[in-house]
Amino acid sequence: QVQPVESGGGLVQAGGSLVLSCAASGRTSSSVAMGWFRQVPGKERKVVAALTASGRTAYYADSVSGRFTISRDDDYKTTVYLQMHNLKPEDTAVYYCASHRAQNIDFAQASNVAEYEYWGQGTQVTVSS
């Protein structure tokens, strides 16, 4: 199993940047696709970004494309990052890291919450205006 643990959330002003980290214990994160999701109270959890196991393909939600980057620590293959730039108040949410059941996924699979096997506890990101 790949048990994710998120860190790096916090409070930032609009236009600022944050980097979230996801440490994946168990099998290395390079053996499965990994995704970042976010959720606000009363709304469903939605994909923000996802990365195939090979690291060759990344997917992004339209709302974050060009501002967020998902990447993996290739040296040890145990940490997945989400770099967030030009943050907006609407980016405020609890951010979750999750490990997928498959290695290679398309965008539909990347976006499907049900296809992710293990989830972290979440980290709060708050963007003030």
How does pLDDT run across 35-54, given as a tens digit for each residue?
A: 999 999 999 999 999 999 88
Handedness of CA 106, 111, 115, 120 (dihedral sign): positive
Of 114, 115, 95, 122, residue with least CA distance to 33: 115
Q: What is the pLDDT of residue 77?
A: 65
Radius of gyration of the chain (CA): 13
Structure tokens at 96: 């979750």
Mean pLDDT confidence for 1-5:
80
Residue 4 has pLDDT above 80, yes or no: yes
Residue 23 has pLDDT above 60, yes or no: yes
The label of the residue with tokens 């199993």 reads 1
Residue 29 has pLDDT above 60, yes or no: no
Residue 16 has pLDDT above 90, yes or no: yes
Q: How far apart are CA 22 and CA 36, in angstroms?
A: 9
Residue 25 has pLDDT above 80, yes or no: no
Structure tokens at 62: 């339209």
Mean pLDDT confidence for 24-34:
75
